Amino acid sequence: QSVLTQPPSASGTPGQRVTISCSGSRSNIGTNDVYWYQQIPGTAPKLLIYKNNQRPSGVPDRFSGSKSGTSASLAISGLRSEDEADYYCATWDDSLRGYVFGSGTKVTVL
Protein backbone atom coordinates (compact mmCIF):
# COMPACT_ATOMS: atom_id res chain seq x y z
CA GLN A 1 0.00 0.00 0.00
CA SER A 2 1.46 3.34 -1.11
CA VAL A 3 2.19 6.12 1.36
CA LEU A 4 0.90 8.67 -1.15
CA THR A 5 -2.62 8.23 -2.46
CA GLN A 6 -3.60 8.87 -6.07
CA PRO A 7 -6.80 8.03 -7.96
CA PRO A 8 -6.25 4.89 -10.04
CA SER A 9 -7.53 6.47 -13.23
CA ALA A 10 -8.46 9.72 -14.94
CA SER A 11 -9.68 10.44 -18.43
CA GLY A 12 -10.67 13.18 -20.82
CA THR A 13 -11.23 13.98 -24.44
CA PRO A 14 -8.61 15.73 -26.56
CA GLY A 15 -8.30 19.37 -25.57
CA GLN A 16 -9.79 18.90 -22.11
CA ARG A 17 -8.12 19.55 -18.79
CA VAL A 18 -7.37 16.64 -16.45
CA THR A 19 -6.25 16.94 -12.84
CA ILE A 20 -4.58 14.23 -10.76
CA SER A 21 -4.40 14.48 -6.98
CA CYS A 22 -1.72 13.14 -4.63
CA SER A 23 -2.55 12.96 -0.94
CA GLY A 24 0.04 12.47 1.77
CA SER A 25 0.79 13.53 5.31
CA ARG A 26 2.79 16.00 7.31
CA SER A 27 5.91 13.82 7.24
CA ASN A 28 6.08 13.70 3.46
CA ILE A 29 4.19 16.21 1.30
CA GLY A 30 3.62 18.45 4.30
CA THR A 31 7.32 19.20 4.68
CA ASN A 32 9.00 18.24 1.39
CA ASP A 33 8.82 19.09 -2.27
CA VAL A 34 6.74 16.97 -4.62
CA TYR A 35 7.83 15.53 -7.95
CA TRP A 36 5.82 14.04 -10.79
CA TYR A 37 6.86 11.33 -13.24
CA GLN A 38 5.25 10.22 -16.48
CA GLN A 39 5.56 6.61 -17.59
CA ILE A 40 4.39 5.71 -21.06
CA PRO A 41 3.61 1.97 -21.23
CA GLY A 42 6.69 -0.12 -21.91
CA THR A 43 9.13 2.69 -21.17
CA ALA A 44 11.03 4.09 -18.19
CA PRO A 45 9.57 6.91 -16.08
CA LYS A 46 10.42 10.48 -17.06
CA LEU A 47 10.63 13.53 -14.80
CA LEU A 48 7.68 15.81 -15.51
CA ILE A 49 7.54 18.28 -12.60
CA TYR A 50 10.14 19.04 -9.93
CA LYS A 51 9.97 21.08 -6.73
CA ASN A 52 6.14 21.15 -6.80
CA ASN A 53 5.63 23.28 -9.88
CA GLN A 54 8.81 23.49 -11.98
CA ARG A 55 9.05 21.99 -15.45
CA PRO A 56 12.31 20.56 -16.80
CA SER A 57 13.33 21.86 -20.18
CA GLY A 58 11.43 20.10 -22.94
CA VAL A 59 8.27 19.47 -20.90
CA PRO A 60 5.33 21.29 -22.47
CA ASP A 61 3.67 24.05 -20.46
CA ARG A 62 0.43 22.07 -20.72
CA PHE A 63 1.71 20.27 -17.63
CA SER A 64 1.56 22.12 -14.32
CA GLY A 65 1.96 21.17 -10.68
CA SER A 66 0.85 22.63 -7.38
CA LYS A 67 1.04 21.82 -3.69
CA SER A 68 -1.03 22.86 -0.70
CA GLY A 69 -0.61 21.48 2.79
CA THR A 70 -0.37 17.70 2.61
CA SER A 71 -1.67 17.38 -0.95
CA ALA A 72 -0.37 18.04 -4.43
CA SER A 73 -1.85 17.94 -7.88
CA LEU A 74 -0.82 17.64 -11.48
CA ALA A 75 -2.87 19.29 -14.21
CA ILE A 76 -2.75 18.49 -17.89
CA SER A 77 -4.44 21.09 -20.05
CA GLY A 78 -5.14 20.72 -23.76
CA LEU A 79 -5.06 16.93 -23.40
CA ARG A 80 -3.40 15.10 -26.30
CA SER A 81 -3.31 11.44 -27.30
CA GLU A 82 0.38 11.22 -26.45
CA ASP A 83 -0.44 12.09 -22.84
CA GLU A 84 -1.85 8.60 -22.32
CA ALA A 85 0.42 7.25 -19.62
CA ASP A 86 0.77 6.44 -15.95
CA TYR A 87 1.59 9.37 -13.68
CA TYR A 88 3.30 9.08 -10.30
CA CYS A 89 3.89 11.62 -7.56
CA ALA A 90 6.92 11.24 -5.29
CA THR A 91 8.61 12.88 -2.35
CA TRP A 92 10.83 12.24 0.68
CA ASP A 93 9.26 11.00 3.88
CA ASP A 94 10.87 12.27 7.09
CA SER A 95 9.42 9.49 9.24
CA LEU A 96 10.42 6.67 6.92
CA ARG A 97 13.69 8.41 6.02
CA GLY A 98 13.30 7.48 2.39
CA TYR A 99 11.61 8.22 -0.90
CA VAL A 100 7.96 7.39 -1.40
CA PHE A 101 5.84 7.16 -4.52
CA GLY A 102 2.16 7.54 -5.14
CA SER A 103 0.12 4.57 -6.26
CA GLY A 104 -0.02 5.89 -9.80
CA THR A 105 -2.81 7.25 -12.01
CA LYS A 106 -3.54 5.94 -15.47
CA VAL A 107 -4.64 8.72 -17.79
CA THR A 108 -6.76 7.73 -20.78
CA VAL A 109 -7.53 10.01 -23.70
CA LEU A 110 -11.01 9.14 -24.91
Partner 1 sequence: EVQLVESGGILVQPGGSLRLSCAASGFTFRNYAMSWVRQAPGKGLEWVSVISDRGGRTYYPDSVKGRFTISRDNSKNTLYLQMSSLRAEDTAVYYCVKLIGTDGYKDYFDYWGQGTLVTVSS
24 near partner 1, judged by CB under 8 A: no
> CB of residue 95 vs partner 1: minimum separation in angstroms?
12
Site string for partner 1, 55-94 (x = CB under 8 A): -x-----------------------------x-x-x-x--
The single-letter DSSP state of residue 69 is T
Cα–Cα distance measured from residue 39 to residue 37, given in angstroms and rounded to the nearest whole number: 7
Among 50, 53, 62, 77, binds partner 1 (CB under 8 A): 50
**Contact call for residues 32 and 24 (beta carbons, < 8 A):** no
Q: How many whole angstroms from its chain centre is CA 74? A: 5
Cα–Cα distance measured from residue 56 to residue 37, given in angstroms and rounded to the nearest whole number: 11
Among 32, 38, 71, 73, binds partner 1 (CB under 8 A): 32
